[in-house]
Amino acid sequence: MRIERAQLRLVPLELSEPFDSPAGPRRNRPVIFVTLESDGAVGWGECVALASPSFTYETTETAWHVLTDHLLPVVVGADLASPGDVLTVVSGVRGHPMAKAAVEMAAWDLHAKLEGVPLVEALGGTHRRVAAGVSLGLQRDESTLLERVEAFVERGYRRVKIKIEPGRDVEVIGPVRSRFPDLGLVADANGSYSLREVDRLRQLDGFGLLMLEQPLAWDDLRDHAKLQEALQTPICLDESIRSLNDVAFALDLGSCRIVSVKPGRVGGLANAVAIHDLCRERGVPAWVGGMLESGVGRAHNVALASLPGFTLPGDLSESRRYWNRDLVTPEFVLVDGQLPVPDGVGIGVHPDQGRIDALVVRRATFTA
């Protein structure tokens, strides 16, 4: 497929409620939408870089710069044999996986639409529904946390992830575990601990967590391996995983026993599928993480999560978890604790272009 035209749209979205992590509070969620056009079809992608470089070094502004000055000028006009070829075309650009992924994912949607198949089919997905999980930001006190968890459990979520940080860990997880003895519980530290706190982290072994996510710094696979030796709880790596090589290295070192796959963090869906395949081959459970996406990014994530090796519930929530009104129709709605995988062509949901265009604050167009 030859890419004839591309557009960028920057849309400042407001979360329906603040999301607080160890990196700080978050209320606004700027999103860059990428569209690629070929032969009358339009493919949509969404850039998951955040406003600040708190999760990785990328930000909305670095992504805009890299997309505008380095990626789209070479992608537009290129003839792609497959969507993953986007990465070959832009191989002269080092890093910036979130900016690259936004283009690559738009190419997947475009490819599926040109072929007249659902994205899930193009990716090799096998499940029609995927188990939903929810991620909770840091809460102001214990009773608020318990109320929030209860509400999500009643809504049908099968796995709840709670943010922790030094000084707010055992005392946060303990009461949740007492109240919900059978709930699939995950603690996510976003890299806020060091090996000095190993005794503290070992206390979490008593709570039967499904996993402890990214306890140590993103660039410290060696200490993660030491920590994993000291813990019964499986470590899951999130921020540390930027590529297939990172996964292979982490598994060889014993730095984790579970892998979180976020297509934005690893440069797109082709790399995400390759990581899925490696994890499956090595018998390592994997799941699809989330980055507070709108319905466009969510549709990509849900299609990816339908692959057979994603055996654990992901950070896949329904639209109303984050948005008063999503930017796609139909919105994502939980059914018996699961999200149905859209079965229309491409991403299978329709971006509300009128509403998106009404919200756009910056736009750029590229033509061949």
Which residues of this chain interact with Mg ion, rule CB under 5 A? 188, 213, 238
Our CB check for Mg ion shows the closer of 89 and 288 to be 288
Q: Which amino acid is at 178?
A: S
Our CB check for Mg ion shows the closer of 89 and 292 to be 292
Helix (H, G, I), strand (E, B) or coil at 196: helix
Element (H, E) at 26: strand 24-38
Our CB check for Mg ion shows the closer of 188 and 326 to be 188
Tokens 């921020």 found at: 239
Q: What is the CA radius of gyration of the chain?
A: 20
Distance of CA 167 to the CA centre of its chain: 27
Residue 302 CB, nearest distance to Mg ion (Å)?
18
Residue 76 CB, nearest distance to Mg ion (Å)?
33
Taking the CA atoms of 119, 112, 3 and 273 in sequence, report the sign of the dihedral they define: positive
CA dist 329 and 306 (Å) reads 20
CA dist 265 and 242 (Å) reads 6
Our CB check for Mg ion shows the closer of 37 and 188 to be 188
Residue 214 CB, nearest distance to Mg ion (Å)?
5
Beta-sheet pairing, 235-237 with 338-340: unpaired
Catalytic site residue 113?
A: no
CA dist 161 and 172 (Å) reads 12
Our CB check for Mg ion shows the closer of 46 and 213 to be 213
Residue 126 CB, nearest distance to Mg ion (Å)?
26
Residue 3 CB, nearest distance to Mg ion (Å)?
33
Catalytic site residue 161?
A: no
**Contact yes or no for 301/263 (Cβ under 8 A):** yes
Task: Identify the CA nearest to 148 among candidates 337, 321, 324, 333.
Answer: 321
Residue 43 CB, nearest distance to Mg ion (Å)?
28
* Residue showing the smallest CB distance to Mg ion in the complex: 238
Residue 11 CB, nearest distance to Mg ion (Å)?
24
**Contact yes or no for 87/270 (Cβ under 8 A):** yes
Q: In the chain, which residue ranges form alpha helices assigned H by DSSP? A: 60-66, 72-75, 85-89, 97-115, 119-123, 142-155, 170-179, 198-203, 221-230, 244-253, 269-281, 295-305, 353-359
Our CB check for Mg ion shows the closer of 37 and 213 to be 213
Helix (H, G, I), strand (E, B) or coil at 72: helix
Our CB check for Mg ion shows the closer of 109 and 213 to be 213
Tell me the two tokens of residue 27: 């209320």
**Is the bond leading into 330 cis (omega within 30 degrees of zero)?**
yes
Tokens 């529904």 found at: 129
How many angstroms separate the most distant Cα atoms in the chain? 60
Q: Which residues are identified as catalytic?
A: 163, 262
